[in-house]
Chains A and B, each alone.
Chain A
Amino acid sequence: MSRIPVPTLVTAVFLVLVLVIYSVTFQVRFSEAAVKVRLGQASAASVIREPGLYWKLPPPIEFVRKYDTRMRVLETPETEVKTQDGQNIIVGCFAMWRVADPYLFSIRVPVEREAEEKLRTRVNETRATVIGHKRMSDFVNLDRERVNASYTQIEKEMLDAAAPGIRNDYGIELLRVGVRRISLPQEATQTVLESMKQEREKLAARYREEGKSLAAAITASAESARKQILSFAERKAQEIESAGVKASERIFEQIGTEDKDFFIWLRYLEALEASLKQKTTLFLDSQTDIFQYFVKPPTGLELQRGAPAAGE
Chain B
Amino acid sequence: MAETAHARCRRAAILGLALQLVTAGAALLLAGATQSFAFQHLSWLLAGGVPLWFTAMLVFRQRELAALEALDLEELRREKQTAGGEALFGEAGGLGLMVARARLEWMQRWLVPALGLIFAAGMLGVGFWSWNGIQRVVRQELFRPLVRVDLALILHALLMLTLFFYSRYASGLGRVAGWQLMRACGSYMLGGAIVAAAIWIALGANLYSGVMNWERWIARGVPWLMMALGAEALLNFLLDIYRPRSPDAEPRACFDSRLLGLISEPGGIAHSLAEAINYQFGFRVSQTWFYQLLQRAALPLASVGLLTVWLMSGIVLVYPYERAIIERFGRQIRPESPLPPGVHFKAPWPIDAAKKYNTDQLHEFFVGYKAGYTPDEKEQAREPGKANIEQWTDPKHAGRDHFDFLIALPPGGAADAATAPAEEPEPRMDRITRAPVNLVRAHVVVQYRVRAERLAEYTQSVHDPDAALRNIAWDEVVRFCAAGHIDALMGPLRDEIGTYLRDRLAARADALRLGLEIVHVGMLQVHPERTVAEAFRKVVTAQQEKIAEIRKARVTENERLSEVAGDRDRALSLAQAIDQVQTNEVRRAPLERTLRGLEAAQVERVRTRLASLQPQLTARVEAEWRLQRARDDLQLVADEFELGMGRSLAQRQAAELRVQEAQAAVDAAAQAVRAALDPLLAELAAEVSPEVLNVVPEHAQVMAALDFWNGRLERSLTGLEGQAAVLLAEAQARRWELEMRAAGEVARVENERFAYQAAPEIYKKRRYLQTLVEGIKDARKYFLAFDPNGRRIHVRLETQEQARPGLAETSLEQQ
Given A51-B330, A219-B556, A230-B727, decide whether A196 and B788 contact each other with a Cβ distance below 8 A.
Answer: no
Taking a contact as CB atoms under 8 Å apart, the answer to whether A214 and B549 are in contact is yes
Most buried by B among A32, A188, A275, A283: A283
In contact, A31 and B459 (Cβ under 8 angstroms): yes
Pair A276/B776 contact, Cβ less than 8 Å: yes
List which A221-263 residues lie within 8 A (CB) of chain B: 221-226, 228-230, 232-234, 236-241, 243-245, 247-249, 251-252, 254-255, 259, 262-263
Given A111-B206, A178-B475, also A281-B782 (CB < 8 A): yes
Chain A residues, Cβ within 8 Å of B423: 142-143
Given the complex, which residues of B lie within 8 Å of A263, measured CB to CB?
745, 749
A52 near B475 with CB under 8 A, answer no
Q: Which of A73, A201, A237 meets B464, CB within 8 Å? A: A73
**Residues B776 and A147 in contact, CB atoms below 8 Å apart:** no
- Interface residue? B796 (CB, 8 A): no
Tell me how far the C-beta of A81 lies from the nearest C-beta in chain B, rounded to whole angstroms.
14
The minimal Cβ–Cβ distance linking B393 to chain A, given in whole angstroms, is 13
Contact A237 B727 (CB under 8 A): yes
Given contact pairs A51-B330, A181-B474, A226 touches B779 in the complex (Cβ within 8 A): no
User: Considering the chains assembled together, what is the distance between the CA atoms of A303 and B724 in angstroms?
Assistant: 55
Question: Does residue B690 face the partner (Cβ distance < 8 Å to A)?
Answer: no
- Encoded as 1 (CB less than 8 Å from any A CB) or 0, chain B from 710 to 754 comes to 000000010000011101101110111111011101101100110
> Is B427 within 8 A of A141, CB to CB?
yes
Given that A192-B435, A192-B437 are contacting pairs, would A247 and B735 also be in contact in the complex, using a CB cutoff of 8 Å? yes
B735 lies within 8 A of A32 (CB): no
The docked-state distance in angstroms from the alpha carbon of A244 to that of B741 is: 11
Does B81 sit at the interface, judged by CB under 8 A? no
Specify which chain A residues have a CB less than 8 angstroms from the CB of B277 in the assembled complex.
none
8 Å CB contact of B746 from A196, A251, A276, A280? A251
Q: Are A200 and B403 in contact (CB-based, < 8 A)?
A: no
Known: A189-B404, A283-B812. A233 touches B738 (CB 8 A): no
B524-555: which residues lie under 8 A (CB-CB) from chain A? 528-529, 531-532, 534-536, 538-539, 541-543, 545-550, 552-554
B-side contacts of A87, CB under 8 Å: 434-435
Task: Report Cα–Cα, A230/B578, bound state, in Å.
Answer: 11
- Check B602 for interface membership: any CB of A closer than 8 A: no
Given contacts A31-B459, A197-B531, A238-B731, contact A192 B438 (CB under 8 A): yes
Complex contact A281–B439 (CB within 8 A): no
- Please tell me if the beta carbons of A147 and B482 are within 8 angstroms of each other in the complex: yes
Known contacts A236-B728, A283-B812; is-contact A51 B329 (Cβ 8 Å): yes
A51 touches B331 (CB 8 A): yes
Nearest to B727 among chain A residues (CB) is A233
Contact of A70 among B406, B462, B739, B769 (CB under 8 A): B462
Q: For the complex, give the distance between the alpha carbons of A52 and B415 in Å.
A: 67
- Are B439 and A193 neighbours in the complex by a CB distance under 8 Å? yes
Nearest opposing residue in chain A for B210, CB measure: A111
Residues of B within 8 A of A198 (CB): 432
Rounded to whole Å, the gap between the CB of B102 and the closest CB of chain A is 46
Contacts of A176 in B (CB 8 A): 512
Given contacts A65-B209, A229-B574, A282-B779, contact A73 B739 (CB under 8 A): no
Q: In this assembly, does B586 line the interface, its C-beta being within 8 Å of a C-beta of chain A?
A: no
Q: Decide: A237 near B728, CB < 8 A? Known: A142-B425, A202-B415, A259-B749.
A: yes
Q: Which residues of B are found within 8 Å of A117, using beta-carbon distances? A: 145
Decide yes or no whether A107 CB sits under 8 A from chain B: no
A312 to chain B, nearest CB (A): 9
Nearest residue, chain A, Cβ from B781 = A282
Distance in Å from the Cβ of B510 to the closest Cβ of chain A? 14
> Would you call B479 and A287 a contact (CB within 8 A)?
no
Which A residues lie within 8 Å of B439 (CB)? 184, 189, 192-193, 196
B785 in the interface (beta carbon within 8 A): yes
Bound complex: CA A165 to CA B322 (Å): 42
Assuming the contacts A96-B468, A285-B788, asked whether A207 and B545 have C-beta atoms less than 8 A apart, the reply is yes
Among A52, A87, A196, A251, find the residue whose CB has the most chain B CB atoms closer than 10 A. Answer: A196
Check if A73 sits within 8 Å of B463, measured CB to CB: yes
- Please indicate the chain A residues that have their CB under 8 angstroms from the CB of B748 in the complex: 266
Within 47-85 of A, Cβ neighbours of B (below 8 Å) are at 51-53, 63, 65-66, 68, 70-73, 75
* Stretch in contact with the other chain, from A22-30, A126-134, A166-174: A22-30
Question: Could you say which of B20-28, B49-57, B64-72, B760-768 contacts chain A?
Answer: B760-768
In the complex, what residues of B have CB within 8 A of residue A234's CB?
727
Whether the Cβ atoms of A216 and B812 lie closer than 8 Å is: no
Q: CB of B268 within 8 A of chain A?
A: no
Task: Decide: A240 and B471 in contact? CB cutoff 8 A.
Answer: no
Number of interface residues of B (CB under 8 A): 149
Please measure, in the bound complex, the distance between the C-alpha atom of A192 and the C-alpha atom of B435, giving whole angstroms. Answer: 8
Which A residues touch B303, using CB under 8 A? 7, 11
> Whose C-beta in chain B lies nearest to the C-beta of A216?
B553
Interface residues on A, range: 35 or more
Binding site of A, secondary structure by majority: helix, strand, loop or mixed? helix
Q: Is A100 an interface residue (CB 8 A)?
A: no
Are B780 and A207 within 8 A (Cβ)? no
A204 close to chain B: CB less than 8 A = yes
B572 in the interface (beta carbon within 8 A): yes
Please determine whether B462 and A184 come into contact, CB atoms closer than 8 angstroms.
Answer: no
Judge whether B807 is part of the interface by a CB distance below 8 angstroms: yes
A285 to B765, CA, bound (A): 22
Distance in Å from the Cβ of A96 to the closest Cβ of chain B? Answer: 7
Known: A111-B145, A248-B742, A279-B780. A225 touches B572 (CB 8 A): yes
Choose one: B462, B474, B717; the contact of A72 (CB below 8 Å): B462
Q: Which one of B467, B471, B753 lies within 8 Å of A178 (CB-CB)?
A: B471
Q: Which of B225-233, B563-571, B661-669 contacts A (4 or more CB under 8 A)?
A: B563-571
Q: Which residue of A lies closest to B208 (CB)?
A: A63
Known: A180-B478, A240-B732, A272-B771. A247 touches B742 (CB 8 A): yes
A141 touches B779 (CB 8 A): no
Report the minimal beta-carbon distance from B755 to chain A, rounded to whole angstroms.
Answer: 10
- Complex CA gap A226/B571 in Å reads 8
B532 and A200 contacting across the interface, CB-CB below 8 Å: yes
B810 within 8 A of A: yes
Determine if A72 and B738 form an interchain contact, defined as CB atoms under 8 angstroms apart: no
Neighbouring A residues of B329 by C-beta, 8 Å: 27, 51-53
**In the bound complex, do residue A140 and residue B460 qualify as a contact, i.e. CB atoms below 8 Å apart?**
no
B10 CB–A CB distance under 8 Å: no
Answer whether residue A108 sits at the interface, using C-beta atoms and an 8 A cutoff.
no
| Complex interface bits, A4-38 against B, C-beta within 8 A gives 1, otherwise 0 | 00011001000000000000000111111000000
With A184-B439, A193-B439 in contact, do A113 and B210 touch (Cβ < 8 Å)? yes
Contact residue among A29, A221, A232 (Cβ-Cβ distance under 8 Å from B330): A29
B299 proximity list for chain A (CB < 8 A): 7-8, 11
**Residue in B414, B482, B579, B775 whose beta carbon sits within 8 Å of that of A273 in the complex:** B775
* CB neighbours of A44 from chain B (8 A): none
* A142 to B549 CA separation, bound complex (whole angstroms): 34
Asked if A244 and B438 make an inter-chain contact with CB atoms under 8 angstroms apart, the answer reads no
Which of B564, B734, B775, B804 is in CB contact (< 8 Å) with A229? B564
A180 and B554 contact, CB distance less than 8 A: no
Evaluate whether A204 and B541 lie within 8 angstroms (CB atoms) in the complex, with A7-B300, A143-B483, A183-B406 already known.
yes
Smallest CB gap from B576: residue in A: A225
Contact in complex: B556, A222 (CB < 8 Å): yes
A1 at the interface (CB under 8 A from B): no
9 smallest beta-carbon distances between A and B, as pairs: A276-B775, A244-B735, A211-B546, A237-B731, A248-B742, A215-B553, A211-B549, A200-B535, A204-B542
Query: Other than the known A94-B471, A141-B482, what 10 A-B pairs have Cβ atoms closer than 8 Å?
Result: A29-B330, A111-B210, A141-B483, A142-B425, A142-B485, A204-B538, A221-B557, A252-B745, A273-B774, A287-B787
30 A/B residue pairs, CB under 8 Å, sorted by A: A112-B210, A136-B427, A136-B437, A139-B406, A140-B407, A140-B408, A140-B482, A141-B408, A142-B483, A180-B478, A184-B435, A193-B529, A194-B432, A195-B433, A196-B414, A196-B528, A196-B532, A197-B532, A202-B415, A204-B535, A204-B542, A208-B546, A211-B548, A218-B553, A230-B723, A237-B728, A240-B735, A252-B745, A272-B775, A286-B786
